[in-house]
Amino acid sequence: MPQATYLEAIRQGLWEEMESDPTVFCIGEDIGIYGGAFKVTDGFVHHFGPQRVIDTPIAESAIVGAAFGAALTGMRPVAEFQFMDFIGCAFNQIVNMVAKSHYRWGAPAPLVLRGPCGGGVHGGPFHSQNPEMYFVHTPGMKVVAPSTPADAKGLIKSAVRDNNPVLFLEHKFLYRRIKDEVPEGDYTVPIGKARLHRPGRDLSIITYAAMVHTAQEAAELLAKEGIEVEILDLRTLLPLDREAIAQTVKKTNKVILLHEDTRTGGLAGELAAIINEEAFDDLDGPIVRITSLDTPVPFSPPLEHFFLPKVEDVVREARKLHAY
């Protein structure tokens, strides 16, 4: 099987969708000749032409609004946020115009809103955020956050083909750090389905995006101590795969919820509620949350290191929970 980085996998998925469906087009800041701040659309403008790879003014509401307008004529726009932190600039357009349109007036909004999120690259408070929960709390949206190249490619293709607005979160820390096998040919990964990243017996870590790799490192260390950790990669944050969540809890009876997003109002709270509803009787210990701090993402490396969840945090909490 060929290998690709997380970044290349997304590029392949987008390229293939644009090749096969002429209604797909990209719109965003500096995505044309420059190829995007992270080069996701590098070379696209030469192949697909400037009509389908559209550079815009620095105006996120205009990007989302124009993408939605084009979608109303039957197009499938893929709008890029240069950094996901800037999605706040288009919040009203997404939450009130786009996400509610099918419910209110029966107009589907088949757009993809994609871009880099996440910390660990010393990007500071405005180039490191994880904005998923604003949109997980928005009925009408779908929210996707892959952790592997194979999932990233399969999910971007599903997102493009979906009839609903899909927020596609690309973790920038993974762009060129993760390289792995990517299936050949045209394949998709379904939105709304979690993936068992690592089977285990003693406790489950439910997580997504870059933290899947943190959990994996911790699991390898814990395995040496005889603690077998199961890792469930959610992949889609809205709608959540309740069945897979319940299944892993019923199997290991102990669960850690891990995410890079901040703690209060983070996805872990929602996951805990689902576990309470679906598998309360199966729990043999308290539900443990490991998240970043309830602060903005700090800039200086020691501060950011302190802010983010780390392998040692996971190892420590897993030992405690295992012994409970």
Partner 1 sequence: MATKSKSAKSAKPTTRKTSANGRTSSGKSAPIKASVNGRPAPLAKAPAIYVNQFGIPDWRLEHPEFTVREVTSGPEVHYEISGKLNTPVPPLRESKYMNKDQHLALYRWMLMNRRMEVALENLYKQSKVVGGVYFGLGQEACSCASAFALGKDDWFAPMIRNQGAQLVRGFHARDIMMQYMAKAGSPTHGKDGTSHYGDIEKRQMVAPISMLGDLLPVMAGVSLGARMQGRELACLTWIGDGGQSTGVSYEGINFAAVRKLGLVLIIESNLWAYSTPTEYQVNVKDLANRAIGYGMPGVIIDGTDACQVYDATYEAVERAHRGEGPTLIEAKLMRMKGHAIHDAAAYVPKEMHEFWRTRDCIDRFQKYLIEKKWLTPAQDAELMAGVEKEIDAEREFAENSPMPEGHTAAEGVYCDGTCHAIKPKYAMPKKARRSEGKLKETEAAIHFK
Active-site positions read: 127
Element (H, E) at 19: helix 6-20
23: left (phi over 0), alpha (psi -120 to 50) or beta: alpha
Write down the least CB distance from residue 77 to partner 1, Å: 8
Q: Interface residues for partner 1 in 265-304 (CB under 8 A)?
A: none
- The residue from 28, 32, 76, 252 that contacts partner 1 (CB under 8 A) is 76
**Is residue 236 involved in binding partner 1 (CB under 8 A)?**
no
Spatial CA neighbour of 64 closest among 114, 107, 13, 134: 114
Residue selected from 17, 29, 31, 35 as contacting partner 1 according to rule CB under 8 A: 35
Name the residue nearer to partner 1 (CB basis): 173 or 317.
Answer: 173
Residues 126-185 that bind partner 1 (CB under 8 A): 127, 139-140, 142, 163-164, 172, 175-176
Q: Which is nearer to partner 1, 97 or 275 (CB)?
A: 97
Q: Does 307 bind partner 1 (CB under 8 A)?
A: no
CA terminus-to-terminus distance, the chain: 42
Contact between 72 and partner 1 by CB under 8 A: the answer reads yes
Query: Which of 88, 100, 250, 270 forms a contact with partner 1 (CB under 8 A)?
Result: 100
Asked if 25 touches partner 1 (CB under 8 A), the answer is: yes
Provide the minimum distance between the beta carbon of 230 and partner 1 in the complex, in angstroms, as a whole number: 30
Contact between 43 and partner 1 by CB under 8 A: the answer reads yes
Residue of 88, 108, 269, 285 that binds partner 1 (CB under 8 A): 108
* Segment contacting partner 1 by CB under 8 A, of 50-58, 197-205, 278-286, 300-308: 50-58
Cβ of residue 266: shortest distance to partner 1, in angstroms? Answer: 23
Provide the binding-site residues for partner 1, judged by CB under 8 A. Answer: 7-8, 11-12, 15, 22-23, 25, 35, 37-39, 42-43, 46-49, 51-52, 54, 56-57, 59, 61-77, 92-93, 96-97, 100-108, 110, 121-123, 127, 139-140, 142, 163-164, 172, 175-176
